[in-house]
Amino acid sequence: KNVPVLKAVKNKLEQMNSCTLFVNTFSSDICTTLSDTDTEQKIQKVITGMAVKMRSQNQRGCYYIEAINEFIASGAN
């Protein structure tokens, strides 16, 4: 039921991570460059959290934007 949305978010997060504008904008906040494995784990954590929220809360809302915000925020930590 939620698989198409989860795949779309995962694709968008992967695109964002490979975008030089995104990387350059947040590189000063992140301070260290994450390895591909770290980035994939970060993306998977966001997707898993989103899936849990969608399944348990079953509310209308923009999980897509929330997941992107979570991904950006997790890079600053």
8 A C-beta contact, residue 67 and residue 9: yes
Tokens of 16: 């964002």
For residue 68, count other CB atoms closer than 10 A to its CB.
Answer: 17
Strands of 1-77 (E only): list them.
none
| Residue 26 pLDDT exceeds 60 | yes
Of the two residues 33 and 61, the one the predictor is more confident about is 61
- Indicate whether 34 pLDDT > 50: yes
> In this predicted structure, what is the pLDDT of residue 16?
84
Percent of the chain having pLDDT more than 70?
75
pTM value is 0.70
